[in-house]
Homo-oligomer: A and B are copies of this chain.
Amino acid sequence: MDKTALTKQRLKRRPGSESRPAEGWYEPASEWFEVPLMRDEVVLERAPNQALLTRRYTDASLEFIREHEQEPFFLYLSFNMPHVPLFRSPEFAGRSAAGLYGDVIEELDAGVGRVLEELRALDLEERTLVVFTSDNGPWLEYEILGGSAGPFRAGKSTAWEGGFRVPALFWAPGRVAPGVVQEMGSTMDLMATFASLTDAELPEVQLDGFDLTPVLVRDEAGPRQEMFFYLGDRLAAVRRGPFKAHFLVPAAGKRGLETLAQPLLFNVNEDPGERFDLAPRRPEIVAELTRLRDAHQASIVEVENQLLRR
C-alpha cells in the first residue's frame, strides 16, 4: 500500500462506527500530513515535525517582538493547535491529567506565558495589549480530540453557544483593570477596539465591529447589544441582550439547514446551555428578534468577493 493510501486508511472513519474518529487521530504521525510550513509566502518545510510547531510558533513570535521592540507592532500569533491532528512536544507529553488534548492546551498556555514574560523582560507590558481568544467552539465529530464547549450546547459549525461563545482575555497592565465581564464582544470588534486604543483612524467602509474600550478601560456597559449568528452566508440566529432566537437549524437526516416553523427562544444569561425554549411564553420577544433579523438582512449591501478578486 502506498503512503497516501496508508494515511487515508489510518485516518478514515472506523468501520461500523462511521461517526467516530479513526484510531490514527489518537496517535497521529507528522509524516501522514504533507502540509507546508511557511514563512510569509515561502515554504520552509513539507510535513514538518508537528510536535514542535507550538514551540516554533512561540520562538518566532519572541523573535518578532525583539526585532520590533523600539516601534509599534502588531503580532498575530495564531497557533495551529489545538486543531486536529493534535501534537505536543516531548516536554509536554503526559503532563496533563486530561490526556493528549490537555497536554496540547498546557503547551499553548506555556507558549502564551513565554510571550508575556518577553513583554515584561523588554519593559513593554505597559505599552502592549494582549488579547487571547478563539475563533470557534469544539469540532465535536472528533470527540475528545476536538475539545469541549463545557456548559454550552453543541459546537463548531452550529449557531448554538457551543459554536460561537469562546473565552476572551484582555491583558494590558495599568489600562485594563482585572475583572470578569459578562458583556458581549466579537472578534469583529477587535479592529475598532485597537483603533480606539491607538488613536488610529478607521477606514471609510461599513464595519460590523464596535469599540469595546468602554467595557475594557472604563468598566462601562458594552456597546455591543446584538449579535448575528451566520452559518456560511445564512443568518441562523439573532441575539439582543440576553435573548437569542434561532430561526434555522440543521436539517434532520440530511445536509443543509431548514427554517423552523416556530423559532426557538433562549435567555442565554439565565440558561447558557440553551436548554429551555421560552418561545411559547415570550412571543413578543420572538417577534422583536424576528423584526431585528429582517431589518439586518435588509441592510446588507453585497460587496465584491475579495477572495475571488485575489
Interface residues of A (CB under 8 A from B): 97-99, 101-102, 143-144, 148, 150-151, 182, 242, 267, 269-273, 275-276
Contact = CB atoms under 8 A, between A and B. Distances in A.
A98 B148 CA distance: 23
A275 B143 contact: yes
Given A98-B269, A143-B276, 6 more contacts: A97-B269, A99-B267, A148-B151, A148-B272, A148-B273, A150-B151
A97 B242 CA distance: 9
Tallying the copies of this chain within the complex gives 2
Nearest to A151: B150
B144 A276 contact: yes
Nearest to A182: B97
| The 7 nearest A-B residue pairs measured at CB | A99-B270, A150-B151, A97-B269, A143-B276, A98-B270, A144-B271, A151-B151
A22 to B, nearest CB: 12
A148 B270 CA distance: 10
Contacts of A276: 143-144
Contact of A99 (B97, B99, B269): B269
Contact of A270 (B101, B150, B271, B272): B101
A118 to B, nearest CB: 27
